[in-house]
């Protein structure tokens, strides 16, 4: 079975109504990144950071996977599919994708503020417990913090993502500006003979001379076209 790796970004979830961070009117316009997405911001004002992610989490039950997510999941009917996402929502999983690598963490999880990537202290929140509090503690006694890779922190899953991309027969890039590293660099690990597709309604600079089949459409329409091209 041929291997597909899907690299997805905020654009795929935007169609479901989840705010992107970088576009005009996005979340960064409302909350300075330094306050809510850096270790320093968390140390300076943990209450604000906890409240910010509580708000993001409470939005999850109000949104649904869109045709882009569902199209990605449908690829599994004929391919061995790995989704590498820059998104922290759970829409790929809810659409039915079975192997999802979250490069930037997961909104539905909390972790130790002392050792964020220690699996012993990573907690999956149930929807009825999406609101967390600043005095909630991890199993190691440190305050629970969002399981999010903040600016300035290492991306622990990048090596795993590289392993999958380097074995891909097909790489599909959907809804990402390819401006955020290290995720944007994953394209360069695709084998020389891999087919590459890029779905985005806006022009994207892929920073490569490799041939890329561009589908200049949104996630839902773009995935519909790609499924037809691949005969799924």
CATH number at residue 75: 3.40.50.1220
Question: Mean per-residue pLDDT for 126-137?
Answer: 95
Q: Which of 104, 188, 207, 213 is catalytic?
A: 104
Nearest to 189 by CA among 163, 210, 214: 163
Q: What Cα–Cα distance (Å) separates residue 90 from each residue in 26, 48, 54, 175?
A: 19, 23, 15, 16
Q: pLDDT at position 99, please?
A: 98
Confidence of residue 216 (pLDDT cuts 50, 70, 90): very high
Q: Is 104 a catalytic residue?
A: yes
Q: Which range, of 82-91, 192-201, 202-211, averages the lowest pLDDT?
A: 202-211
Does 51 fall in a domain? yes
74 has pLDDT over 60: yes
Give the rounded distance of the alpha carbon of 185 from its chain centre. Answer: 15
Q: What is the band of 29 on the pLDDT scale with cuts at 50, 70, 90?
A: low
Q: Are residues 3 and 80 in the same domain?
A: yes
Reported for 19-26, long-range contacts at CB under 8 A and 24+ positions apart, including other chains, are 22/177, 22/179
Whether residue 118 is predicted with pLDDT greater than 90 in this model: the reply is: yes
Domain housing 56: 33-62+110-148
- Same domain, residue pair 194 and 89: yes
87 and 162 inside one domain: yes
Confidence label for 21 from pLDDT (cuts 50, 70 and 90): low
Question: To 5 degrees, how large is the angle CA 164–CA 23–CA 32?
Answer: 95
Strand stretches in 176-224, DSSP E: 195-199, 213-215
Q: What is the average pLDDT score of the chain? A: 92
Which range (46-60, 64-78, 103-117) has the least confidence?
46-60
Same-domain check for residues 122 and 193 = no
Question: Is residue 27 one of the residues assigned to a domain?
Answer: no
Q: Is the domain of 163 the same as that of 228?
A: yes
pLDDT band (50, 70, 90) for residue 24: very low
Question: Do residues 125 and 65 touch, judged by C-beta distance below 8 A?
Answer: no
The predicted pLDDT at position 20 comes to 57
pLDDT at 95 over 90: yes
Residue 23 pLDDT greater than 50, yes or no: no
176 Cβ contact list (under 8 Å, min separation 6): 7, 8, 9, 10, 11, 86, 183, 184, 200, 204
- 8 A C-beta contact, residue 182 and residue 202: no
Inform me whether the pLDDT recorded for 190 exceeds 50. yes
């Amino acid at each position: 079975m041929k291997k597909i790796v899907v690299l997805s970004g905020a654009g795929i979830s935007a169609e479901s109504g989840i705010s992107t961070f970088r576009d005009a009117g996005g979340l960064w316009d409302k909350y300075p990144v330094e306050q809510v997405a850096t270790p320093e911001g968390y140390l300076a004002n943990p209450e604000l950071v906890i409240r910010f992610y509580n708000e993001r989490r409470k939005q999850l039950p109000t949104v649904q996977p869109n045709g882009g997510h569902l199209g990605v999941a449908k690829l599994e009917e004929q391919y061995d599919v790995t989704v590498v996402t820059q998104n922290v929502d759970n829409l790929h999983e809810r659409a039915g994708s079975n192997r999802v690598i979250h490069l930037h963490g997961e909104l539905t999880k909390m972790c130790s503020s002392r050792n964020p990537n220690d699996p012993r202290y990573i907690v999956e929140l149930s929807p009825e417990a999406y609101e967390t509090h600043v005095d909630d503690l991890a199993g190691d006694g440190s305050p629970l913090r969002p399981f999010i890779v903040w600016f300035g922190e290492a991306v622990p899953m990048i090596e795993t993502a590289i392993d999958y991309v380097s074995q891909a027969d097909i790489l599909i890039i959907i809804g990402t500006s390819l401006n955020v590293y290290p995720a944007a660099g994953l394209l360069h690990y695709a084998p020389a003979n891999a087919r590459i597709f890029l779905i985005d309604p806006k022009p994207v600079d892929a920073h490569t001379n490799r041939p890329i089949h561009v589908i200049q459409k949104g996630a839902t329409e773009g995935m519909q076209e790609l499924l037809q091209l691949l005969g799924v």
